[in-house]
Chain A
Amino acid sequence: MGRNRSDLIVFVGRRLVQLVPVLLGVMIITFFFTHVAVPDPCAIWAGAHAQPYQIQNCRSTFGLDKPLPDQFVAYLSSLLSGNWGKNPPSTVLAGTPVLTSIAIAFPETLELVIAALLIMVVIGIPLGVAAASNSGRWVDHLVRTLYLSGWATPTYLGGVVAAIAIGPALGLPSTGTFSSNPTFAQSLHFSVLDALFAGNLGATLDAILHLILPASALAFLNLGIATRMTRGSMLEVLPMDYIKTARMKGLSDFWVLYKHALRNSLISTTTVLGITAGTLLSGTVVIENIFQWPGIGFYAYDAILHYNFVGTIAVVIVFAAGVVVANLVADIMYGFLDPRVEWR
């Protein structure tokens, strides 16, 4: 075991294999909640005034009249074969396959989450450094109050205030991804990149402006995690001998803090940011609705509200997979940041 490229490949391969049972478990639990815990979803789907035969029809359409093990086999085989069902008529995207809706929505969510992560890193980490290097003084107290207030503000409250009050005040757009329907093809469904590849700089700027409010609202809640973690690990690193050495050889404060100390503290911050992916993804459900952002969270809300079971199952599985992959990425980053880590 070591740190060359083949070790990395073995490491990633093994982790990917470990994902299989986790994802299988995710599917089983989702099955449990959607098929076992609900006594009769058809009674809800068919509506309050449905005739008994309508409910019976619904049951046979969805295979709910079969024994549970049969249902489970059918459920699993359709999931694995990529046939994730179609959106029922009551939803916005009625009739389109669930997998297609997810494939379109996913990059948009990814864009939002990446933008939020960027804000967290660019603002959150320097704040943590500032707090740690002034620990116990007013800067520290100020930063701690700031990140705790971000933590204490529910995503939805921050989102509503940003969309209704802050957006208009700053002249920032607060709905959707573009001001007008784009004339170019949205092949990636990643609004900034789509506009950029189409060579339309005006639309690119427009897309970035549309991204600012939702991404900041999403980042504000989680800013504290990056700041708190950076502050904590900086406090651990700062009393160490090598920092003393760096100061003694006459390095400026900036270089000591950002090159020597931060490099070491980033190890734990990265891990925590990877774990935050779940929180960020949860946050998108709320934020995308407030800002009408056409991502998975928006789709999830619609699916959950309209009892779109196939959609709900798909969203939960995709989100779970997203969390697992984010943790894997964090693990790999960890190895890159810490030269002592061996791939195993």
Chain B
Amino acid sequence: MTEKRIGDGTAVVRDEGAWTRRRRFLTAAAKGFLRVMRANPLTFIGFIMVVIIAVLALLILVVPPISQVLLGHAVAILPYDPVIGDCPPALYNAAGNCAYPPSGTHVLGTDNLNRDMFSRVLAALPLDLFIGFTVTGFALLVGGGLGLVAGFWDTPRTLGGFVSAVIMRVTDIFLAFPSLVLALAIAASLGRGTGPSILAILFTWWPYYVRLVRGEVLAVKHQPYVVAARAAGVSNLRILFRHVLRNVIEPVVVYYTLDVGTVIVTFSTISFIGIGVPLNVPEWGNMVLGYETYLLSYPWTILSAGAAIFVTVLALSLLGDGLRDVLDPRSRRVLAQAALPSTLAGVSAAKAPG
């Protein structure tokens, strides 16, 4: 710890050093995190699920090429080939195909081409998750950037005011399109396939972030601390990034978490309609499409694909929904109540007006 004397030497400023500060910040963050997780078991479950899903996707993506380099042969994470099916007559079931219910060798059963459902569902994980995170991330960067500009420089009759007016008008127009419909139209006009459907979602996803970020910036930028920074002569850009952005980021992160799931659902809907990912590529939406007719005869096929989307999106929503409750100061009080030991919580709930 160093001490710095300023002015005539009577005032002492203690500088704890960067490491101490960082450690203190991290402990506080960890403590806050633990408190939140304890208060809200659903959020905790969501968090654990998201971590497991993300690690799994990473392993599926990364292990085969790395092992190829290190060991000379690819170590497959998936127990069976998810794409190529082989159904010799010896394996035919009564209906003349290879769909078998879950068993010891095939945890989620097999589909009509004798492909292992467990492998197929997992094989789709990296693609769907990657698209969920990157498309939303792109929308966040583009929309968020435009929203920052539109919210921060909105004085009428200036260049900034003009730019932000233009941004908002264009955003309003894009907001009028139901995103799935525009995405379908774009995917239909750009041709079918994974690329066009990603592009289509990219085109329709950013306007929500413009609205969100601009609203938050407008709420923050007249706060006393921003005015104080301005009075102290801090430059516009510095105010934007150090003071405004940091206070805007919380609700945006919450929205992002919830939105990743929505993008996954939209992407798989485009494949379900049949204009997205080609049918031979494992993807949850087109698996539901492909196995639609088997819902009653081989329910494990369509239901494993459906369950995969369901679990992924549910995990993300649980996490996002919990984060919102935690970060929103208005519901923090309620949470704090729930975090009390049950007897105390009962008492305070009885006393509370709610």
Contacts and interface: CB of A to CB of B under 8 A. Distances in A.
A and B interact physically: yes
B189 A38 contact: yes
Nearest to B310: A152
A161 B176 contact: no
B193 to A, nearest CB: 14
Interface string B181-193: 1101111111100
Interface in B23-78: 41-42
Interface residues of B, number: 60
B128 to A, nearest CB: 11
B173 A235 contact: no
B330 interface: yes
Contacts of A26: 173, 176-177
A236 B311 CA distance: 30
B173 A25 contact: yes
Interface stretch (B82-90, B223-231, B272-280): B272-280
B296 A165 contact: yes
B292 A239 contact: no
A316 B181 contact: yes
Interface stretch (B102-110, B130-138, B145-153, B313-321): B313-321
Interface string A263-304: 000000000000000110111011001000000000011001
Given A157-B310, A304-B184, A239 B352 contact: yes
Contacts of A33: 182, 185-186, 189
A282 to B, nearest CB: 3
Interface in B181-211: 181-182, 184-191
B215 interface: no
A-side interface mostly = helix
Nearest to B184: A304
Contact of A135 (B181, B268, B334): B334
Contacts of B349: 136
A282 B181 contact: yes
A29 B174 contact: yes
B295 A161 contact: yes
Contacts of B310: 149, 152-153, 157
- Most chain A CB within 10 A, of B179, B188, B317, is at B188
B302 interface: yes
A244 B353 contact: yes
B184 A239 contact: no
Nearest to B333: A239
B309 interface: yes
A289 B275 CA distance: 14
Interface residues of A, number: 65
A156 B288 CA distance: 8
Given A151-B313, A312-B189, A285 B181 contact: yes
B334 A316 contact: no
B265 A154 contact: yes
Contact of A243 (B189, B292, B313, B353): B353
A243 B352 CA distance: 11
Contacts of B7: none
Contacts of A312: 185, 188-189
Nearest to B289: A156
Contacts of A38: 189-190
A174 interface: no
B353 A282 contact: no
B331 A235 contact: yes
Contacts of B42: 141, 144-145
B345 interface: yes
Given A21-B169, A144-B321, A282 B179 contact: yes
Contacts of B119: none
Given A152-B309, A160-B292, A312-B188, A282 B178 contact: yes
B331 A285 contact: no
A344 interface: no
Contacts of A279: 178
- Most chain A CB within 10 A, of B176, B273, B275, B318, is at B176
Contact of B177 (A244, A285, A305, A320): A320
B240 interface: no
A133 interface: yes
Nearest to B340: A136
A296 B330 CA distance: 41
B268 A154 contact: yes
Closest A-B pairs by Cβ, 4 of them? A136-B338, A25-B173, A282-B180, A238-B354
Interface of B: 41-42, 169-170, 172-182, 184-191, 261, 265, 268-269, 272-275, 285, 288-289, 292, 295-296, 302, 306, 309-314, 317-318, 321, 330-331, 333-335, 337-338, 345, 349, 352-354
12 contacts: A26-B173, A37-B189, A41-B189, A144-B321, A153-B310, A154-B313, A160-B288, A161-B295, A239-B352, A307-B188, A315-B185, A324-B176
Given A151-B317, A278-B177, 5 more contacts: A25-B170, A136-B337, A154-B272, A154-B309, A281-B181
